[in-house]
Amino acid sequence: MQDTSHTNDKSEKTYVFLLSLILIVIIILSVLFFAFSNNQDGNNSSSKLYQSEYYNISVAEAYDLINESENGTINLVITDIRQLEPEGCSDCEFKRGHLPYAKRIINKNLFNDTENVTLVYSRYGELGAEFCMELVGTVYGDIYNLEGGWDAWDTAGFFRETGLEE
């Protein structure tokens, strides 16, 4: 006669092993799914990457960016940094004319918009490029410097706003 207790013991161990293996696979898949779904969440800032470079753009490209912003395609922050230039004056240049929707920065440390697309301009573009370099690695949105700065915009004859922002 055959010993069935040994056979039953062996099949029971196989059954427990397979159940354990299935449980481990389910746990691993659950963890992977959870991790992947958290990285796909647009509101999770830890999954975003800081910008590693900035782009110099022409007046026409800046005009297109402003139009995209007006159409709601992008969220654009236009930053006038002419006041940071050594020969800049407090309000006079901004009052005489600035890009539509521009906000003045009177201190580099006051720039705090890290989520949106940023367009920076200075008087001639050089200081704007330096400011953009400082933003690299600190903001998530694209960073643009207006080549030629306010001088190029004004020379091209594009729309300007006057006065101080509200």
Confidence of residue 88 (pLDDT cuts 50, 70, 90): low
Give percent of the chain above pLDDT 70: 84
Give backbone dihedrals phi and psi of 120, rounded to 5 degrees, phi first: -110, 140
pLDDT given for residue 77 in this prediction: 92
Instruction: Please enumerate in sequence order all residues whose Cβ is within 8 A of that of 4, keeping only pairs 6 or more positions apart, or say none.
Output: none
Q: Is the pTM of this model over 0.75?
A: no
pLDDT given for residue 110 in this prediction: 72
Q: Is the pLDDT of residue 48 over 80?
A: no
Mean pLDDT for the stretch of residues 59-83: 92
With b meaning 16 or more CB within 10 Å and e meaning fewer, what string describes 89-124? eeeebbeeebbeebebbeeeeebeebeebbbbbbbb
Please state, rounded to an integer, the average pLDDT across all residues of the chain: 83
Of 1-5, 30-34, 73-77, 102-106, the range with the lowest mean pLDDT is 1-5
Confidence of residue 6 (pLDDT cuts 50, 70, 90): low
Q: Is the pLDDT of residue 84 over 90?
A: no
Of 6-10, 66-70, 105-109, 152-156, the range with the lowest mean pLDDT is 6-10
Mean pLDDT for the stretch of residues 62-80: 92
